Amino acid sequence: MSTIMPKTITEEFVRRIPKTELHVHLDGSLRIPTLVELAKAGKVKLPSYSEAGLREKVFKDFYKDLPDYLAGFAYTCAVMQNAENIERIAYELAQDHIAEGVRYVETRFAPQLHARDGFPMDAVVRAAVKGFERAQKEHNRSADVKAGRDIPFHFGIIVCALRFFNEHMSPYYKGITQLMHFAPRKQVFAAASLELARAAAVFKHDLGLPVVAFDLAGAEAGYPAEDHKAAFQFAHSHFLRKTVHAGEAYGPESIFQAITDCYANRIGHGTWLFAEDMIRDPDIEDPAAYVRHLADYIASQRICIEVCLTSNLQTLPHMKTIAKHPLRNMLDRNLSVSICTDNRLVSNTTVTREIMLAVEHLKLTPRELRNVVVAGFKGSFFPGDYTEKRAYVRQAIDRYEALEREYLG
């Protein structure tokens, strides 16, 4: 009696299945030719004006640490100071996602990095929305979508507050820093976050923009999420979803803060969820139990973790290989996980590539792949109502299963 072996997960299959991208930074995902073109037009000085030169000097394969990884954003943000450029960058990002089968994207960025006199935060967000809408309309009126051979493309915008900033990062940050000149720095950061939360509520509820969530990004060490509690309380009270960069460069306590102080519906990265040795609070007498209870709570509440494999490997060199990434542990413990890029330019990657890394290095099975893809759609902050979201998730699952039968039997 012969045994039918399961078919191998191929890159072609992964490219064709409908996927989500829940954690991608707009300012970290430009096309290099676009960056160079916009820099020349705007007289922004770059370390190199060739793709090879920028890959060697800025957007590298490996970085010393998270601050080194973030250094390239100074160049990308410098060319994102007007509506035309932001719209183009958003349009191209949507195109790049659609081309590899991504059908739902939540792109995040900090409008306060781009706002200035004559270009307020609502105009910044509208520019990004306009770019995504243009790509959405092009895809959704395609013959394949109309015939049911593909599913529509949808998107949402996540606005990011920063754990840390200085007055040189943008005119907005310069203004609030000068206005609060005598205040402790953490109060300045908290004030900017609260103002962004207020703006996000207006964008979503009053202006009808597809702003789906509020985020906190930036270096964790020394800049705890609890400092931004008022902003997240405001977001929570105004029916905004919350995601927090946590456990990327700090331990389980950072993730705990994101959930308890910031009401996080999702966790960005969560890389050090299981790192008992990184717990610093002396009152936590049993680190192993703390981690076990935290992971079980995240699993039971279906708090989706936005995993970014290549980015983590680049910013955490001591991880050394994808095989050591805690994604395998997350899957084994039945956590809700979605595989994301973080930054398509800075990490030189795609959603398809990130999934294939999990398949090849973490032995992702066909069942696990299906669970991860479906978790992305279910864990999304879909801009429509819950009934519309359920219908869209069903569309995605039906399309996935049709391709699964075709490729995997």
Contact 60, 1 (CB under 8 A): no
- Looking at 248, 253, 306, 368, which residue is catalytic? 248
Listed in sequence order, the residues at least 6 apart from 374 whose beta carbon sits closer than 8 Å to its beta carbon are 393, 396, 397, 400
**Angle in degrees, 0-180, between the axes of helices 32-42 and 83-99, rounded to the nearest 10:** 170
Q: How many CB atoms lie within 10 A of CB 264?
A: 28
Query: In the beta sheet, which residues pair with residue 104?
Result: 20, 154
CA distance 155 to 104: 5
Does the annotation count 406 as an active-site position? no
CA 379 to chain centre: 13
Catalytic residues: 248
